[in-house]
Structure 1
Amino acid sequence: MKWSLNYIAITNSPEEARILDECGIQQVMVDTEILGKVDRQKGKQTIISDHKIEDVTKLKELQLNLEIICRINPFNENIFNEINQAVLAGADFIMIPMIKNIEEYKLIVDHIDRRTKIIPLIETTYSLFNLKEIIEYSNIKQIHFGLNDLFIDIGYKNLFEILFSEFFSCFINFAVNNVEIVGIGGIGNPKVPLKVDSLLLLSEFLNLKSSSIILSRSFFKNGYDKQSIIEGLRMFEDVFKDSKKYRNLVLLKEQVQRLN
Structure 2
Amino acid sequence: IKGQCQVLGGVTSLALTSDGTHFFAGSTLSNIYWVDVDTLTAELRNTCHHERINYVAFPAGYSEVFATCSITDIRVWNATTRQELLRIQVPNMECYCLDFMRDGRSIVSGWSDGKVRAFLPQSGKLLYAINDAHKNGVTALALASDCSRIVSGGMEREVRVWRIGQQTQTMDTSLKEHRGRVWCIRMTQNDGHAVSASADGSCIVWDLTSKTRSLCLFESTMFKSLVYHPDESQLLTCGSDRKVAYWDSFDGQ
Q: Could you state the TM-score of these two structures normalised by the residue count of structure 1?
A: 0.28
Q: Could you state the TM-score of these two structures normalised by the residue count of structure 2?
A: 0.29
Which protein has greater RCO, CA pairs closer than 8 Å, 6+ apart? 1
Higher helix share: 1
